[in-house]
Amino acid sequence: NNKTHALLAARAQSTTAMPSATPSHKSSDPAAGKLFEFQAQLPKLPVPALSETLPKYLRTVEPLLSKEAYAQTKRIVEDFARSSQGQELQRRLEARAAEPGRVNWLEEWWNDLSYMGYRDPVVPYVSYFYAYKDDKLRRKPTQRAAAIVRAAWEFRRQVASRELGPETTKAGALCSYSYNYMFNATRIPKLPSDIEATYDLAANEHIAVVRNNQFYALPLVHSGQLLSAAEIEAQLDRIVEQADSSAAVPVGVLTSDNRDLWSDNYRLLSEASPKNAATLERLQSAAFLVCLDDARPVTREEYHRVFWHGNGRNRWFDKSLQFIVCDNGKAGFLGEHSSMDGTPTCRLNDYILDQTLYGKVDLGSSVVRSDLPAPEALRFVTPPSVVRAIEQAGQRFDKVVEQHQLRVLQYEGFGKDEIKRLGFSPDGFVQMAIQLGYYKLYGRSRATYEAAATRAFAHGRTETCRSVSSESVAFCEQFETATASPEAKLAALQAAVKAHGAYAKMCSEGKGVDRHLLGLRLSLRPGEEKPKIFQDTAYTESSHWYLSTSQLSSEHFEGWGFSEVVPDGYGVAYTIRKDAVILHIAAMKNEFGLNSDHLAHYIKEAATEMRAVVLACKLKDAAAKPKL
């Protein structure tokens, strides 16, 4: 989830309508199985009224601005609301949303601006990872990898047959469209915008495996029968033995590069030999990629870094799904973000871990058939021009990774259960801990992005939950005021969490401000004057995400993560388990002097203080009650 937001703020300041990418959409018959059972009934993403969005926008910018700056912004926004240009842009956007055959007014714009047209490297800037809990049943890496493959293949079977049910909330079913891009899918670099390629699942029953920078294709069906876990393990052992006894140019590092450079080098690689085009096709059409790493990470920072970016060589970052298993059995997942947000892959990985950690997965026969063909080595022809490109891409990757700092905070003072006992929404409570931690470090609140899913709508993806509110700023001020009473602090915390929850709910209903304002801006035609609302520093400042945050939670994860989205900001991914909160805090090492260690320290301090205040008030209330 996650460089997206800054890209929009940065690129779109100077753009009008953007060209849209044209991914190769795989059709989905809504009548085909449970997965798409409710797809045809999903409502379209709404276009809110200007009279709804603009006052809401003013409420979100007010806590970020001085009184003078806010007064100026208020005049600009009110002028826009009354202007003929504002009304015309709204009319154009409503007309776009109503076009016959258009499923979602935002989809093409969003996919291009945020992903396909975005040119910075996907790792570390766009992709996201999950870190798995250890598997006590399988300490041998290829044994664990084999079990993961079997579980993932069963999930794939349910997707292919459509017998997997749609995700649901209390409000109803969520859009399943992105499941079309889960398996046998890859991003392909192109100028000016990348495309997403999908391959027929029935015709491509192989996975790809990479070890020691060398790629292999491993068919999972032999003589009409799915390979058992024992057979997959044996095949993976053959791959490890073969790859570790040889060396190869690390072609995979090309996928770590700036997308324009990778587009050029993709063409260079493809044209270097007719064999390379076939090799690329075999790799890209695989159901998913299994990365067998020789790393042995121990600390949280070590294994978060392995799954986030690794050494850049033993990967193909464009594959939609990569399962990573280290030589000490540590395992995780890396997701390519362009066509699929985190919730479907969170479901996939939660399923895999539930199946493997608790012995539920069907491993098949323990007998290894003697006639299994050797895994197919996917060897690239690499003339000197390609080797030079690979070396240069590797140097750039190493430099980018070196520019990043990371701290992983496992906070065990509370988890989901304790927060609920205290009377709060777990997500809202953790968001306020992040707000207070940042306030302690910098003495002020700044624009904060939290990803909110809009998958209740057809082809919906995300909206920006603006976590900073007048209530959240007041909460931070109260907690940093020495004379404030516990009761005053508690009231401020309750108000802040309530305001956060109300805004998050509006976002999930398609009624946030950021996507609507983006749509209005992109409705401008070439040569038309940009409205002052989009030239106002308040607009730029309120969408410059000093904190980019997102929650994805599973009891089976040891955290997850992504990068910052602006050079002077932090990326904070968090998992709320029953017993703990795990925060991945990433930032750049640059002239802005950011410090992930310090932010982690203050978030921990904030969380402890918040819990102490709530408990103190509860104890006081209990003591004041008359004893029977």
**Residue 621: its pLDDT value, please?**
82
Amino acid occupying residue 452 = A
**Residue 620: its pLDDT value, please?**
86
The pLDDT averaged over each successive group of 10 residues in the chain (628 residues) is 41 32 37 85 97 98 97 98 97 97 95 91 97 96 98 98 94 95 97 96 98 98 98 98 97 98 98 97 98 98 98 98 98 95 96 97 96 97 98 98 98 96 97 98 98 96 97 98 97 98 97 98 96 97 97 96 97 97 98 98 98 94 73
Using CA atoms, how far apart are residues 88 and 84, in angstroms rounded to an integer?
A: 6
DSSP annotation of 178: G
Q: Which of 233, 236, 145, 136 is nearest to 556 (CA)?
A: 136
Amino acid occupying residue 536 = D
**Is 68 strand, coil or helix?**
helix
Two tokens, residue 309: 């970016």
Active site residues: 337
Q: 586 pairs with which residues across the strands?
A: 406, 571
Please give the span between the terminal C-alpha atoms of the chain, in angstroms, as a whole number. 54
Amino acid occupying residue 609 = E
**Residue 380: its pLDDT value, please?**
98
